[in-house]
Structure 1
Amino acid sequence: MELPNTKAFQDEFTRSLLDSPKEVEEGYYLFESDTGGYSMLWPKDAVTDGPPFYQRTGESFEKIQFYERNEKENYDNSFSTTFSTYGEDSLESRLNILSSGVSYYGEYEEIETDKTLIYCAKKELPLKYSTAYFYFGYILSKENEQGLEYIYVTQCIDESKRNCNIDTEQEEKRALYYMQSVIFNKDE
């Protein structure tokens, strides 16, 4: 079978994580975790490397760092997700860990979907050649003890170039869409 000409399927390790070369919606594949705990959208041009960028411990923990970089379009998006089975009892400690990881000490907005509670926030970080825009949250299943920390960062590779066009409102919507696309599987 011929593989799609996308970065995700041309990269051997990334391809091993994805279930099908068929896009579940335009521009996205489905990532179904080997933990059996969740699934989420995976951008067609996002890739990851093996350990330490991918870690899994049985069915209770999984961390993935992946990125989508386009030098011609002058953008760099990075993603970090951490799945755990700590549940609502550890929500406060999970938010503290997330806050510490992104150096954010503000309030979180709570968004409720049919099956999840999402605690999300955002921040900007000026860097040497650009500004990084962080959109992050903790997604908690309403049906079981599963949760997922989700961090999405977008920035221009070089802000001084004319084609540095980050629409922060659009990126915030995209980040929330990613978080809302997470589906937790019910305990068997």
Structure 2
Amino acid sequence: MKKRTIIVSFVVLLTLAGFIAFKTMNKEATALNDSFTKEFIAEEWVEDEFHLFESKTGQYRMLFPDQFQLISDPPEFYGKQGDSYEHWVGQISNDNSKGIAYSFKVTFKDEKVDLTENQLYSMLNNHAYNDQYETINSSNKTIYHGSSSLFFEGPKATIHNPNFNQANIFFGLISDEHSNKTVEIYYSLDCIEIERGCEINTQGEYEFALKLMKSVEFLDKQ
């Protein structure tokens, strides 16, 4: 498949997210200090700098980094439909960010039929450079993951090769091996103050995104 242009609506959402984070958050804002975020914390400090996040659907858990917080408003940042769908956005922006706004978007789905192939195609179509991705298999889940470089060229955003351009989008689809449950994670780094350098530790950020993806645990809802 050939290179495609990323969906602009997603880019606008992340840009808006970065702007709100930069204006409303500071280095003192952590997961446990924010009342909305704390509603989702099932266990504190399960790892250094990480808490255990539990979905309001009761269908999955994952690590949640302490320096981030959930955004409750507007509705684009958090939504839930019964126990089969949930999406949310976590953000951070502080004085030590080197001009970067950090944002990750998580979407959970429990479909009546297996739509993993369709979701993978959509993820690659919208976020991957030349459909590049890798796979991690285990007895419980499969993780499809990759990275890419997003640049604005005029009014459009285009995807470039992360091997030659600094990656700023890290994406993953986690599929449960025993059900039709999936979790999509998109981790974005937006340069909001270019005069501060906007340096990205690509390998470190990729490892951070993979840590979140690997931590996803699907639950058996009774």
Short-chain TM bin? 0.7 to 0.9
Query: Which residue in the other structure is 1:53 paired with?
Result: 77
Q: Which one is further off, 10-19 or 77-86?
A: 10-19
Aligned ranges 1:26-175 → 2 under 5 Å: 26-50=48-72, 51-74=75-98, 75-86=100-111, 89-102=114-127, 106-126=131-151, 133-162=168-197, 164-175=198-209
Q: Which one is further off, 137-146 or 7-16?
A: 7-16
Query: Which residue in the other structure is 1:182 paired with?
Result: 216
| Residues 13, 187 of structure 1: alpha-carbon distance in 2 compared, 3 angstrom cutoff | closer
Q: Which one is further off, 151-160 or 54-63?
A: 151-160
Query: Which residue in the other structure is 2:25 paired with?
Result: none
Does the CA-based 8 Å contact 1:156-1:166 persist in structure 2? no
**Aligned equivalents of 1:142, 1:127: Cα separation in 2:** 37
> Deviations 1:147-182 (Å, cap 9, x if unpaired)?
1011111244434325x4321112111111110010
**Aligned equivalents of 1:87, 1:150: Cα separation in 2:** 21
Partner SS for 1:89: coil
Q: Which one is further off, 39-48 or 9-18?
A: 9-18
Question: Could you list the runs of 5+ residues in structure 2 that have no partner in the other structure?
Answer: 1-27, 154-165
| Residues 16, 124 of structure 1: alpha-carbon distance in 2 compared, 3 angstrom cutoff | same
Does the CA-based 8 Å contact 1:79-1:153 persist in structure 2? yes
Query: Which residue in the other structure is 1:12 paired with?
Result: 35
| Residues 140, 88 of structure 1: alpha-carbon distance in 2 compared, 3 angstrom cutoff | farther
**Aligned equivalents of 1:12, 1:47: Cα separation in 2:** 9
Higher relative contact order (CA closer than 8 Å, sequence separation 6+): 2
Partner SS for 1:72: coil
Could you tell me how far 1:113 is from its partner in structure 2?
2.6
Does the CA-based 8 Å contact 2:53-2:62 persist in structure 1? yes
What percentage of residue pairs aligned between the two structures are identical?
31
TM-score, reference length from structure 1: 0.84
RMSD in angstroms over aligned alpha carbons? 2.4
> Match of 2:213, as an amino acid?
M
**Aligned equivalents of 2:112, 2:201: Cα separation in 1:** 34
Task: Give the paired residue count.
Answer: 180
Query: Which residue in the other structure is 2:159 paired with?
Result: none
**Aligned equivalents of 1:71, 1:173: Cα separation in 2:** 23
Partner SS for 1:19: strand
